[in-house]
Structure 1
Amino acid sequence: MGTNICVTFFAFLCLIALSNAQTQFLRWCVISEAEQKKCQDLKKVAASMYANRVPSYEVIPLIECVLGKDVYNCMEKIQDNDADIMALDTGQAYFGGRYYNMMPFLAEKYSPGGAGTGTGDGMNYYAVIVAKRGSQFNVFQLQDKRACFPGVGTAAGWLYPIGEFVKKNGQTNIMQVTECNAIVKTATNFFKSMCLPGALTSFYNPFGNNPARICELCSGFLEKKCSTDDPFAGYDGAFKCMSEDAGDVAFLRHDTVAQMAMNSSYMPDNYELLCPNGMRVPVTDYMTCNYGSIPANTVMTSSLKTKPEVDVYKNFLLKAAQWFGPSGQYRNQFDMFSSQPWGYFNRRNLLFTDSTQTLVDVGEKNTYYSWVDNDFYQIMEYHNACPLITARLCVISKQEKKKCEKMMMAFNAKDLRPSLDCIKGKGTDDCMKLISKGDADMVMLDPGDVYLAGKKYGLEPFVVEDYGNMNASVHVVAVARKRDHYMTLFNLKKKRACLPGIGRGDGWIIPMNIFIETEQFIPQHCTLFENLGQLFIHSCIPGAMDKDYNPNQKPVSLCEGCAAGGFRKCQRTSEDQYFSSSGAFRCLTEKGGDIAFVKHLTVRGNTDGRRQSYWARNRRSDDYELMCKDGRRTHIDDWENCHLGQIPASAMVTAKYKSEQDRTIFWQLLNYGQQFFSSDIEGDFHLFDSGTWYNDLIFSDDAVRLMRLDKSMQDYRNYLGQDFINKVENLHKYTCVPVKPSKKSSSSHTSISLLLLAAIFILQLVV
Structure 2
Amino acid sequence: MMAGRRAFWRLAVLLLALAAARGQETYRICVVEKFNSTKKASTYCTVLDEKGSQASCVLGQSRLDCFRKITKNKADFAVFPAEDILAASHYGSDEVAVTNNIRVFSKQPFQMQVAAVVRKAANITYMSDLRGQKFCHPGYGYSTDDWTQVMAQLFEQEVVPQRCEQALTVAENRLKSSSEFFKSACKAGPWAPDQAVDRRLKERYHNLCALCDDPDACATTDKYWERRGPLFCLTDGVGDVAWARLDDIDLHFGISSHVEPVTAAKDFSLLCPDGRQEPLDTPQHCTWMSRPWPAVVARKKVTQSIQKLISSLQDAKPHSWQWALLHLVESFNQDIVPLDKIMPLEDYLHQAPGFLKAYSLPACRPPRTVRVCTRSNVEAAKCRMLAQAAQALGVWPDLACVPGVSAEECALSVQEGNADVTVTLPQWQHVARRKYKLKPLLFEFSPDTSALYEVAAVVKAGKGIRNIQDLKGKKACFPSYDGVGWNTMVSLLKNNGLLTKSCPFSAALGEFFSEACVPGLNATSNMNSLCPSEINNTFAGEAGAFKCLASGKGDVAFISMNTVKKYTDGNSKEAWAKDLKSAEFRPLCTNGSSPACFLSWATPGQVMVYSNISSTRHEEIYLTFLTLQDYFGKKMKTPGMFQLFSAFDNYSNVLFQDRTERLDTLAGLQREKPLRHNYERMLEALAPCSGALPSSLPAALVAALAATRLFR
Query: TM (normalized to structure 2)?
Result: 0.53
Give deviations 1:174-215, integer Å, cap 9, x for gaps. 9x99659x99xx99x99844799xxxxxxxxxxxxxx87446
Aligned to 1:596: 557
What displacement does 1:584 show?
3.8
Q: 1:96 to 1:433 in 2, by over 3 A?
A: closer
Q: 1:692 to 1:488 in 2, by over 3 A?
A: farther
Aligned to 1:94: 82
8 Å CA contact retained: 1:133, 1:272: yes
- 1:278-289 correspondence runs (5 A): 280-283=277-280, 289=286
Give distance in 1, aligned partners of 2:603 and 2:512. 30
Q: 1:625 to 1:351 in 2, by over 3 A?
A: closer
**One-letter identity of the residue aligned with 1:145:** F
Give distance in 2, aligned partners of 1:394 and 1:463. 16
Give distance in 1, aligned partners of 2:315 and 2:256. 34
- The answer to whether the aligner puts 1:437 opposite 2:416 as a matched pair is yes
8 Å CA contact retained: 2:530, 2:553: no
Give distance in 2, aligned partners of 1:649 and 1:124. 41
What displacement does 1:315 show?
7.1
User: Rg: which structure is higher?
Assistant: 1
**One-letter identity of the residue aligned with 2:340:** G
Query: TM (normalized to structure 1)?
Result: 0.50
**One-letter identity of the residue aligned with 2:531:** E
- The answer to whether the aligner puts 1:129 opposite 2:116 as a matched pair is yes
- The answer to whether the aligner puts 1:271 opposite 2:268 as a matched pair is yes
Aligned to 2:312: 312
What displacement does 1:457 show?
5.8
Give deviations 1:16-50, integer Å, cap 9, x for gaps. xxxxxxxxxxxxxxxxxxxxxxxxxxxxxxxxxxx
Aligned to 2:531: 560
What displacement does 1:543 show?
1.4
What displacement does 1:420 show?
4.8
Aligned to 1:424: 404
Give distance in 2, aligned partners of 1:610 and 1:671. 41
Q: 1:577 to 1:109 in 2, by over 3 A?
A: farther
8 Å CA contact retained: 1:530, 1:554: no
8 Å CA contact retained: 2:443, 2:605: yes
- The answer to whether the aligner puts 1:626 opposite 2:587 as a matched pair is yes
Q: 1:664 to 1:602 in 2, by over 3 A?
A: farther
- The answer to whether the aligner puts 1:104 opposite 2:100 as a matched pair is yes
Give distance in 2, aligned partners of 1:692 and 1:617. 28
Give deviations 1:435-459, integer Å, cap 9, x for gaps. 3331222335678976665666654
Give distance in 1, aligned partners of 2:132 and 2:145. 20
- 1:537-552 correspondence runs (5 A): 539=517, 541-545=518-522, 550=523
8 Å CA contact retained: 1:108, 1:298: no
What displacement does 1:479 show?
0.5
What displacement does 1:311 show?
3.3
8 Å CA contact retained: 2:102, 2:334: no
Which of 500, 518, 523 does residue 479 from structure 2 map onto? 500
Give deviations 1:489-548, integer Å, cap 9, x for gaps. 5676997532132123422462597499797x9679879469849956662x23124xxx
**One-letter identity of the residue aligned with 1:434:** S
Aligned to 2:246: 253
Give distance in 2, aligned partners of 1:655 and 1:626. 36
Give distance in 2, aligned partners of 1:684 and 1:73. 13
Structure 1 vs Structure 2 CA RMSD: 6.7
- 1:339-418 correspondence runs (5 A): 361-365=338-342, 371-373=348-350, 378-379=356-357, 381=359, 389-394=368-373, 400-402=375-377, 404-405=379-380, 407-409=382-384, 411-412=386-387, 414-415=389-390, 417=395, 418=398
Q: 1:195 to 1:661 in 2, by over 3 A?
A: closer
Give distance in 2, aligned partners of 1:466 and 1:412. 22
What displacement does 1:260 show?
0.9
Give deviations 1:116-165, integer Å, cap 9, x for gaps. xx9xxx8999643122321355764488633469999898x878754533
**One-letter identity of the residue aligned with 2:244:** F
**One-letter identity of the residue aligned with 2:255:** M
Q: 1:146 to 1:531 in 2, by over 3 A?
A: closer
Q: 1:705 to 1:542 in 2, by over 3 A?
A: farther
SS of the residue 1:260 aligns to: coil
- The answer to whether the aligner puts 1:662 opposite 2:617 as a matched pair is yes
Give distance in 2, aligned partners of 1:464 and 1:671. 11
Give distance in 1, aligned partners of 2:647 and 2:552. 25
Q: 1:194 to 1:152 in 2, by over 3 A?
A: farther
8 Å CA contact retained: 2:645, 2:659: no
Which of 692, 706, 709 does residue 663 from structure 2 map onto? 706
What displacement does 1:261 show?
5.9
SS of the residue 1:506 aligns to: helix
Which one scores higher on RCO, CA 8 angstroms, separation ≥ 6?
2
SS of the residue 1:165 aligns to: helix
8 Å CA contact retained: 1:501, 1:542: yes
Give distance in 1, aligned partners of 2:390 and 2:559. 37
8 Å CA contact retained: 2:278, 2:286: yes
Give distance in 2, aligned partners of 1:625 and 1:154. 50
Q: 1:192 to 1:618 in 2, by over 3 A?
A: farther
Aligned to 2:320: none
What displacement does 1:646 show?
8.2
SS of the residue 2:413 aligns to: helix
SS of the residue 2:371 aligns to: strand
What displacement does 1:373 show?
1.4
Give distance in 1, aligned partners of 2:237 and 2:574. 66
**One-letter identity of the residue aligned with 2:556:** I
Give distance in 1, aligned partners of 2:465 and 2:119. 87
Give deviations 1:637-682, integer Å, cap 9, x for gaps. 3427xx4x78899754322442334323433444455564569999
Give distance in 1, aligned partners of 2:435 and 2:219. 47
Q: 1:503 to 1:310 in 2, by over 3 A?
A: closer
Q: 1:535 to 1:476 in 2, by over 3 A?
A: same
SS of the residue 1:391 aligns to: strand
Q: 1:686 to 1:504 in 2, by over 3 A?
A: same
8 Å CA contact retained: 2:187, 2:218: no
Q: 1:534 to 1:691 in 2, by over 3 A?
A: farther
8 Å CA contact retained: 1:159, 1:379: no
8 Å CA contact retained: 2:546, 2:564: no
Aligned to 2:456: 477
SS of the residue 2:359 aligns to: helix
8 Å CA contact retained: 2:426, 2:606: yes
Equivalent residues, number: 540
**One-letter identity of the residue aligned with 1:662:** R
8 Å CA contact retained: 1:495, 1:535: yes
- The answer to whether the aligner puts 1:146 opposite 2:146 as a matched pair is no
What displacement does 1:408 show?
1.0
